[in-house]
């Protein structure tokens, strides 16, 4: 499934998630899209309640170098429904650094 997830064609936004991401976490939708467009590390985070709609975590960088974690549901037709985004934790930075170095 990893190969299919890396071929995301569209990012889906829902207003309530965008508001939380921007106001609470201080991450813009542009930054999330930059992380998807770069060379992110994507892993399945947990199984979804609906078959084929698992929760994934993306570790990536914005154009300015900010390291963020993005949580999304991989939907049909190669769409990512973003539900949360925030700065990476120390542990996530270590994982991302090992992969990118």
What pLDDT digit, counting tens, does each position of 17-37 carry? 999 999 999 999 999 999 999
Instruction: Concatenate the DSSP letters of all residues of 2-34 into one string.
Output: HHHHT---EEE--HHHHHHHHHTS---HHHHHH
Residue 98: phi and psi, rounded to 5, are -65, -35
CA-CA distance, 1 to 7, in Å (whole number)? Answer: 10
Domains contained in the chain, number: 1
pTM for the whole thing?
Answer: 0.87
54 vs 68: CA distance, rounded Å = 20
Find the CATH number of the domain harbouring 64: 3.10.450.530
Contact call for residues 57 and 42 (beta carbons, < 8 A): yes
Range of the domain at 27: 2-100
Task: Give residue-wise pLDDT tens across range 51-101.
Answer: 767 899 999 999 999 999 999 998 878 899 999 999 999 999 998 987 654
């Amino acid at each position: 499934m990893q190969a299919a997830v890396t071929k995301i064609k569209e990012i889906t936004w829902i207003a309530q998630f965008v508001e939380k991401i921007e106001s609470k976490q201080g991450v813009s939708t542009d930054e999330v899209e930059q992380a998807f467009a770069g060379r992110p590390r994507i892993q399945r985070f947990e199984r979804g309640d609906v078959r084929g709609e698992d929760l994934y975590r993306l570790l990536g960088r914005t154009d300015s170098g900010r390291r963020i974690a993005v949580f999304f549901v991989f939907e049909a037709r190669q769409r990512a429904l973003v539900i949360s985004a925030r700065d990476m934790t120390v542990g996530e930075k270590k994982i991302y650094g090992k992969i990118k170095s």
